[in-house]
Structure 1
């Protein structure tokens, strides 16, 4: 995909904070924003990956970047990180709530601790980052970008905790969008389809350990770079909802209006299973 790197100055010198900024979509979007002239604040758990990413952004994109080790599930750690970011750069213009984890296990086989950890990262992590950054975002009439999923409107088998966390994100940020209307802050929910990241490779199983099984076959998988480009273009237009899955219209239509057909035809394929035989 051709990327028009230098023709738009919307994000030039803007401060963009990305949670989970060292891998997958978060890394690709950080690079894309750096190409557009943004200054980056990256939150991640891996200090070595942060150091490497900051060096990469400086060496290859001449971009200022601050890498902060932070577990977004820890509200106090998030507040400290946001405070450091504002002290360094003066404020935050764009918040990208990208950090997330998933699992692959049936509901009955999934420990409560797995549900709690997934909600802590996927839902409360986004909540913590948004609460901490919102005053600055309002002052600068910025933008909140939330990485949801296809499963935000169409469930996937063996991912009950993950599905629940994405539905919760929609409830939270659609409400927030309404409550802060008139503030100048845009809220964009992004629903990618299956993307070639380490998310599925590092999926938890029911007891909380990382799966040793290869990722399930999902059909066509997007690249993080193409997803990042679509998010970047959506951010330029201050979109409210961005659905990127190659099965978006079918999943949304069938799940909402024809749930039995969705369960029989599309759900097994989206979940990496063979469709049930006709009865």
Structure 2
């Protein structure tokens, strides 16, 4: 075991260094100036912060979420921050017709689309799986099928502009975590769909990039409320997370890892020592105080 560690640890370091530095490019805020961007799930949390970053960069922003009153405040703030323009469309992503309508609104209001940022998520529980299949089906509609519907609707405009699709996912879409069974299922689905679609784009020479964002525990209100008492780790700042997502999309990166050490290293370990990773994951939970159902 000692000899294996002496070989494995330096090798891990080399792999990480290569992945990190080979993917680095210079991001400039001007890359987003005048770009036409949809941000879903933008009334709070990471989505709201992405809208503000894009506004500061001079992008034309169309935001969407369920609550119109919250979106109106986001739009007003975006205009104050210097957005090229800021529009909103409110509604529920359970309705595939609404998902398509958001894209139609972008075409009508913005005249096209350069970046589609898919960030919305349905409400779920943080507890042991309760066997509710209908809940999983509803969550799949919101967290997965609406992403597919919006992508299909947006593709003609994105192909025309040579644009980007940015998919906000999670470590729970790469690794099995306790207490997130329905949520995790939808995030794994995103990985499968968009990774396969990326392959087809490459074969067909479609000039549309797909960036999958693998996030750790972020200090959004919903995440902290659900998991802070159980997870033995501090959440990362949503403002910085939002900026890293935008950078990854602008640079057309394959995947964004935030925070890097908390996401990339465990994924390397997953492929070589899955049972060890499972054990390490469980050590970050206070199982003596399981979440309430």
Aligned length: 258
Counterpart of 2:217 in 1: which secondary structure?
Answer: coil
Residue among 180, 183, 200 paired with 1:179: 200
- Are 1:141 and 2:151 counterparts? no
Q: Distance in 2 between matches of 1:196 and 1:8?
A: 24
Partner of 1:57: 78
More helix by share: 2
Q: Distance in 1 between matches of 2:45 and 2:192?
A: 25
- Are 1:104 and 2:126 counterparts? yes
Kept in 1: contact 2:40–2:47 (CA 8 A) = yes
Residue among 158, 163, 169 paired with 2:184: 163
- With structure 1 as the length reference, what TM-score do the two structures score? 0.86
Partner of 1:209: none
Q: Distance in 2 between matches of 1:151 and 1:71?
A: 23
Kept in 2: contact 1:143–1:185 (CA 8 A) = yes
Is the alpha carbon distance of 1:243 and 1:138 closer, same or farther for their aligned partners in structure 2, counting shifts above 3 Å? same
Could you tell me how far 1:253 is from its partner in structure 2? 2.9
Q: Distance in 1 between matches of 2:211 and 2:28?
A: 23
Is the alpha carbon distance of 1:8 and 1:214 closer, same or farther for their aligned partners in structure 2, counting shifts above 3 Å? closer
Could you tell me how far 1:202 is from its partner in structure 2? 6.6
Partner of 1:227: 241
Is the alpha carbon distance of 1:62 and 1:84 closer, same or farther for their aligned partners in structure 2, counting shifts above 3 Å? closer
RMSD value, Cα: 2.0
Is the alpha carbon distance of 1:219 and 1:80 closer, same or farther for their aligned partners in structure 2, counting shifts above 3 Å? same
- Are 1:89 and 2:110 counterparts? yes
Partner of 1:206: none
Partner of 1:217: 231
Q: Distance in 1 between matches of 2:166 and 2:286?
A: 28
Partner of 1:207: none
Structure 1 stretches of at least 4 aligned residues deviating more than 3 Å after TM superposition: 269-274
Partner of 2:142: 121
Partner of 1:277: none
Q: Distance in 1 between matches of 2:135 and 2:46?
A: 23
- With structure 2 as the length reference, what TM-score do the two structures score? 0.82
Unaligned runs of 5+ in 1: 1-5, 204-212, 275-279
Could you tell me how far 1:75 is from its partner in structure 2? 1.1
